[in-house]
Amino acid sequence: MVTLSVIIPVYKAENSIKKCVQSVLTSKSVTEVILINDGSPDNSLEVCNELRKNEPRVKVFTQENCGPAVARERGVSLAVSDYVTFVDSDDFVTEGAYDDVLEYADGVDILEFGWQKTDADGNVISKSELYHETVTGDDCILHYAKQKNTANYLCNKIFSRNIIADIKWERLFCGEDAYVLCHCFFDASNYRVIPHVLYNYVMTENSLSRGITSKAFDNIRAYHLISNLCEQRRVELVPYAQYKLCSVSANLYCASENKEQQELLKNEFEKARSRISLRFILKNGSLHRKLLVILFGVSPNLCRFLIRNRRGE
């Protein structure tokens, strides 16, 4: 029987962690729920300990605040199951989610499923459904690089513990999903996608806030690391990393209120854009990404105005 460990980093989650954990526990196939209290300054640890008292599958560990990447890496090192997955402490999964799909994970390195975004009350904002697909060998990393029928989320995937156990997680507050996924897809022998929508991303005030913090620049660092990894392992994939670096830089520029940040992001965009051709852009990525990168290359300020106007800002 396939076994599953669910890893949940916990930080300032006193109001959401109970719902999160209880949603996971509705799946009987879950062997353990590993809660990593990442130095949370609120009452999250107390709530976690209460959950542990009532459910032997819940395990609680505490560390100094190091960010979600370090917390997840520790969780992987503690996991005992054949497969692992991740849930963010603000989010929740559908009832019995893993019972419904764990059979599809048997024999594959990565299993991916659909997700939806909800508000704090559980009302669905948007739904992202994938279609059935099985990919093998070197095509796994190419599939991920092209970003079709997949997403840059750790939480909508189940991983063989063998494929993720030896990864050295960078200390990133943002962008760690893409960095770790790139490693996993490089090493994967087989990968399966199923259409089930199981994961609920809760859009909090922080999720929707304007402006960016210095931690958001970890997204830039993450794609530099990914580009370096591609250089080492499969150089023809470097343009995909640079293309993503273009779109990340442009999006952060449009969200920033800080002129110094904007100048740095503009420079990052220009360096990445110089490494990819217009033909590559036109052949790859979503229509939104194509338009974003092309328009930003013509006029960053016009691009920013149009994007913010579209969002009603």
| pLDDT value of position 70 | 92
What is the residue-averaged pLDDT of the chain?
93
Dump pLDDT digits (tens) for 75-94: 999 999 999 999 999 999 99
Least confidently predicted of 16-25, 198-207, 209-218: 209-218
pLDDT band at 215 (very low <50, low <70, confident <90, very high): confident
pLDDT band at 211 (very low <50, low <70, confident <90, very high): low
Output the pTM of the full model. 0.92
- Reported in sequence order, the residue ranges of the chain that DSSP labels E, i.e. its strands, are 4-10, 30-38, 58-63, 83-86, 92-93, 110-118, 124-128, 133-136, 157-160, 190-202
pLDDT band at 267 (very low <50, low <70, confident <90, very high): very high
- CA angle at 36 for the pair 35 and 39, rounded to the nearest 5°: 135
SS3 271: helix
Q: How many CA atoms lie within 13 A of 34 on its CB side?
A: 20
Do 253 and 270 touch, CB atoms closer than 8 A?
Answer: no
Query: At residue 312, does pLDDT exceed 80?
Result: no
* Domain spans of the chain, in order of start: 4-206, 210-311
Strands 83-86 and 4-10: parallel
What's the CATH superfamily of 4-206? Spore Coat Polysaccharide Biosynthesis Protein SpsA; Chain A (3.90.550.10)
